[in-house]
Amino acid sequence: MTVHVMPRHLISENKWRAARYGLDGVVLDFARDRRLSMRESISEMLDFVEDFVDELGSRREMNYLRNLLNDKHGTGADRQIDVYQRTGSSAAVVEYLMQQASA
């Protein structure tokens, strides 16, 4: 399998999309000229490196990432988006973050 090296600005675009839209946001697979969710993209990457995880001693981290992908609540970005979509209020998102920080 060929691993493509992407220019930094393309990688930055997908990082911004992931931060802005969460795991279900659409990112661009520039090597295969397709769109897919960040959740799908990460899952494919984890599958790609699966054969080496135990050798590298990274099973715990891989399990954490796979659980995160399967968690309906997703990442912090996903939860913030959910708060905003439910309330339409940036102030509610800030309040949510303050509650999380004090928990």
pLDDT recorded at residue 62: 94
How is 53-85 classified by DSSP, letter by letter?
HHHHT-HHHHHHHHHHHH-TT-SHHHHHHHHHH
- Where are the chain's structural domains? 75-103
pLDDT higher than 80, residue 1: no
d(CA 102, CA 95): 11
- Map residue 29 onto helix, strand or coil: strand
d(CA 50, CA 23): 20
pLDDT mean over 61-71: 90
Give pLDDT tens digits for 41-63.
999 999 999 999 999 999 999 99
**% of the chain surpassing 70 pLDDT:** 99
Give residue 70's identity as a one-letter amino acid code.
N
pLDDT recorded at residue 76: 83
Long-range contact set of residues 32-38: C-beta below 8 Å, sequence gap at least 24? 38/14
